[in-house]
Structure formats: C-alpha cells, structure tokens
C-alpha cells in the first residue's frame, strides 16, 4: 500500500540498522516518547535490529496510561447516571479505575458509546436533546484540536446538553519532568511525530539546549523510527544536542497554526496529575473560562484528587523510562491484559501491553496452556 509499504521495507531497515551500528562507538540510551512508536518497535522487533550499545526506553506518550485514576472514576460515575450518554474513544473503555472500568459500567447498564471523533458525540447530542451527552476528552496535543473543535461548535450552535470531561496532557512538560528526575539516564529523545504535526517543534528547542539532549521528531513506521534513531545517534556521537525533524513529510517547525489557534481559543494550560507519574505543573489543558459551560466537572461535580496509594505496579517507572515491562516481577504473571495491575497493561499503546502481546512467551513463563480447541461450541 502506498505511504505504508515503502516505510516497511526489510532491506532498507537492515541498511539503516547497519548504518546505526557503524555510527555507534559507545552505549547510548534513547527514549521514544510516543506509545505508538513503542508499539511499532516491539511489533516489528526494531530494537533487536539495533546494536547492543543502543538501548531504547519507552516514554510516557500513552494517553490512556497517564489519565489519572480519579478521572476514570469520575467518567464511570457520570456514565452511570440515567440521563447520560457517555462517549469515549475505544481504548479508554478497558482502563481500570478504583473499581471497575467504563466497560464494566456499560455491562451494568450505563449508556457508554465508542466514538471515532468528538464530532460524533456532538451529533449524538443534537439527536438526543433529552439526554446529557458527555465526551471524555483525553489525549495529548494530537487529539486536542478535534476535541477543541467539538466545544467550539457546541458553543456556536448553543447546544445545551453537551459537555466534556477533560483530561488533556502536554508532552514538553512531561519531558522536562523526566529529564530533571534524579535517576534520569536518557541521553537522546525521539519526539512524537503526530504531536509535533500539530504543535511544531519550536518548544522542544529550549529543552534540547537546557538538558543537552538531541531531540529527533520521529514518525511511526519502522523506517521512520530507525532513521530517527540514526539521526539521534549521529548527534550523540558528535556531541550535538539539537532538534532535528525526521518526520518532515508531516511536521513543520511552526506546526499547524489553525489547529493551535483552536486549542488556544477553547483550552488553557493548567497543572495536571499523570497516572503513575504524579503532578506536573503546566502539563495539561482544561477548558478556558469562555468554554467553562461545557465542562462536565461543572455539571456533574469536580473530580476529587485521589490518593494513588502506591501498589505493586511499577508503571510509573516504565512511563519514565526507568524500567522495562519485563523487569516487573508481576509482568505476565499477576498482571495480564485480562487482569491488569496498571494502565500500561491495558492500552493498545501501553508498553506493558505491547510486550505482553508480542513477547509474552519470551519474557514471562506462559500460563497453563489452554486445552481447548473449540471455537464457541460446547
């Protein structure tokens, strides 16, 4: 398929891996920020093409994983109200809250709908004037413009029965937090191509300078990632720390200005808690005063900050690139996608889920083999 096959060419991948191996003279640790990149790395086995001196660690860029537990709880609480139609992107549904998930709320009778765009939620609000339609607005800068557009249109149309539960997060403050962390060992960064398509990469330049880390804006296909690693390694080897753009077929330095404008109109920057990581100042988006009327927290009560009791789950360390999923003693044993201890095992973009799905047999003892060879017949 065009625009896909050419970025998955085995010969070109091998040549990139060889070029990286030639360029490397000592060990380097590079973090890929986005869960989509993590997924591609594990799915295609890209890390195994790299020389042993290059270590890829997985970053915090999984929107499902970092949405705080109290927002999941609030979502379930709102969704369970009889007059509410609760709309969410699909992969939020399985994420565990304090007790249960949106999926189990749905099974218990809540009207929870999967939507593909926030504008679908808007259409539901128009079609069901007697219902309160609530959209779960989560994600990084990538989903922010479309979510902003939903609120913008709702305001212009005067839709009274639409609101959003907002838990948006921003990449650069999280990178700052990780790079200033006391245990940080990250020397280079592959920034998330889709986020930068919206925001551009000017805001990464001071981060690269301040922390002396090269940052390469990188795409999501196998060759994108290998080229990103190559560009990053070349900078590291030559002592540079600049922002480079591998994903130039999508990203411009200034980003997408109209998208930024709608984000600026509808949202304002606020502090946010990140699940597994903690509170980071100026790291999220909330609705601006002009759009506060569409804030589900105003209609259904504010989200109370929950005390995330520390548990056996170490997803915080995974999200900060300090541990790999397979380092966890519970991985594949007590913690599986059916019974996750943390959100990184749930989301399709979570690092633990990617390791489980593609490497389970190597990284954990397989459970009791299932004897069934039946489909659904009994």
| Ranges within 133-192 binding other proteins (CB under 8 A) | 138-140, 142-143, 177, 181-183
Beta bridge partners of 189: 31, 215
| SS3 state at 284 | strand
369 scored as a contact of other proteins (CB under 8 A) = yes
Q: How far is the CB of 239 from other proteins (least distance, A)?
A: 29
In the list 22, 27, 107, 206, the residue contacting other proteins (rule: CB under 8 A) is 107
Question: Minimum distance between the CB of residue 319 and other proteins, rounded to whole angstroms?
Answer: 10
Nearer CB in complex with other proteins: 59/276: 276
Q: Could you say whether residue 290 binds other proteins (CB under 8 A)?
A: no
Q: Does 365 bind other proteins (CB under 8 A)?
A: no
> Taking a C-beta distance cutoff of 8 angstroms, is the pair 4, 40 a contact?
no
Is 304 among the residues that bind other proteins (CB under 8 A)? Answer: no
Q: Which of residues 26-55 bind other proteins (CB under 8 A)?
A: 36, 42-46, 48-49
Helix%, strand%, coil% for the chain, nearest 5: 45, 20, 35
CB 219 within 8 A of CB 246: yes
CA nearest neighbour of 30 among 220, 173, 226, 245 = 226
Alpha carbon of residue 368 to chain centroid: 32
Among 149, 187, 340, 352, binds other proteins (CB under 8 A): 340
282 lies in the binding site for other proteins (CB under 8 A): no
371 binds other proteins (CB under 8 A): yes
Sorted by sequence, the CB contacts under 8 Å of residue 61 that are 6+ apart come out as 32, 33, 34, 35, 36, 37, 38, 140, 171, 192, 195, 349
Q: Which one of 23-31, 203-211, 269-277, 288-296 is the stretch in contact with other proteins (CB under 8 A)? A: 269-277
Candidates 125-133, 153-161, 206-214, 347-355 — which segment interacts with other proteins by CB under 8 A?
Answer: 347-355
Would you say 26 or 48 has its CB closer to other proteins?
A: 48
Q: How far is the CB of 62 from other proteins (least distance, A)?
A: 9
Is there binding between residue 360 and other proteins (CB under 8 A)? yes
- Structure tokens, 202: 């000017």
Tell me which residues in 45-104 interact with other proteins (CB under 8 A). 45-46, 48-49, 63-64, 69, 89-94, 96-101, 103-104
d(CA 224, CA 7): 7
Going by C-alpha positions, the residue among 349, 344, 345 that lies closest to residue 277 is: 344
Contact region for other proteins (CB under 8 A) — 106-114, 149-157, 234-242, 254-262?
106-114
Residue 16: closest CA among 235, 230, 233, 248: 230
Q: From the CB of 40, what's the least distance to other proteins, in Å?
A: 10
User: Interface with other proteins includes 264 (CB under 8 A)?
Assistant: no
Number of residues that bind other proteins (CB under 8 A): 92
| Residue 18 within binding range of other proteins, rule CB under 8 A | no
CB of 86 to other proteins, least distance (A): 15
Report if residue 276 touches other proteins, rule: CB under 8 A.
yes
Name which of residues 205 to 234 contact other proteins (CB under 8 A): 222
Nearer to other proteins, 68 or 214 (CB): 68
Residue with tokens 């551009």: 200
Interhelix angle 35-44/222-237, rounded to 10 degrees, is 100
Q: Using CA atoms, how far apart are residues 73 and 78, in angstroms rounded to an integer?
A: 9
Type and span of the H or E element at 333: none
When asked if residue 130 is in the footprint of other proteins (CB under 8 A), the reply is no
**DSSP per position, 41-95:** HHHHTGGGTS-TTEEEEEEEE-HHHHS-HHHHHHHHHHHTSTTEEEEE-GGGTT-
- Exactly one of 164, 336, 351, 352 binds other proteins (CB under 8 A); which one? 336
């Amino acid at each position: 398929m065009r625009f896909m096959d050419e970025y998955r060419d085995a010969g070109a991948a091998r040549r990139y891996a060889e070029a990286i191996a030639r360029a490397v003279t000592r060990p380097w640790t590079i973090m890929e920020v986005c869960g989509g990149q993590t997924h591609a790395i594990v799915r295609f086995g890209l890390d195994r093409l790299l020389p042993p001196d290059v270590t890829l660690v997985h970053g915090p860029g999984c929107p499902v994983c970092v949405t705080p537990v109290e927002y999941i709880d609030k979502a379930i609480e709102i969704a369970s109200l009889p007059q509410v139609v609760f709309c969410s992107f699909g992969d939020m549904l399985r994420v565990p809250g304090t007790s249960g998930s949106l999926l189990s709320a749905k099974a218990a009778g809540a009207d929870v709908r999967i939507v593909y765009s926030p504008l679908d939620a808007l259409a539901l609000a128009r079609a069901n004037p007697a219902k309160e339609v609530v959209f779960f607005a989560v994600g990084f800068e990538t989903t922010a413009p479309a979510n902003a557009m939903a609120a913008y249109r709702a305001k212009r149309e005067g839709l009274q029965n639409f609101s959003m539960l907002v838990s948006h997060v921003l990449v650069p403050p999280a990178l700052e937090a990780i790079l200033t962390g006391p245990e940080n060992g990250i020397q280079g960064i592959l920034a998330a191509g889709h986020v930068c398509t919206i925001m551009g990469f000017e805001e990464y330049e001071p981060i690269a300078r301040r922390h002396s880390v090269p940052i390469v804006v990188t795409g999501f296909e196998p060759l994108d990632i290998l080229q990103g690693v190559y560009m990053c390694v070349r900078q590291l080897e030559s002592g540079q720390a600049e922002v480079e753009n591998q994903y130039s077929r999508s990203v411009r330095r200034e980003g997408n200005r109209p998208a930024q404008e709608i984000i600026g109109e509808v949202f304002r920057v606020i502090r946010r808690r990140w699940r597994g990581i903690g509170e980071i100042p100026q790291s999220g988006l909330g609705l601006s005063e002009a759009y506060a009327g569409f804030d589900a927290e105003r209609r259904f009560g504010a989200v109370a900050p929950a005390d995330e009791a520390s548990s056996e789950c170490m997803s915080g360390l995974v999200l900060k690139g300090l541990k790999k999923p397979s380092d966890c003693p519970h991985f594949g044993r007590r913690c599986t996608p059916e019974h996750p201890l943390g959100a990184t095992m749930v989301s399709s973009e979570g690092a633990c889920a990617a390791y489980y799905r593609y490497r389970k047999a190597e990284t954990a003892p397989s459970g009791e083999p299932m004897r069934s060879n039946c489909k659904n017949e009994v």
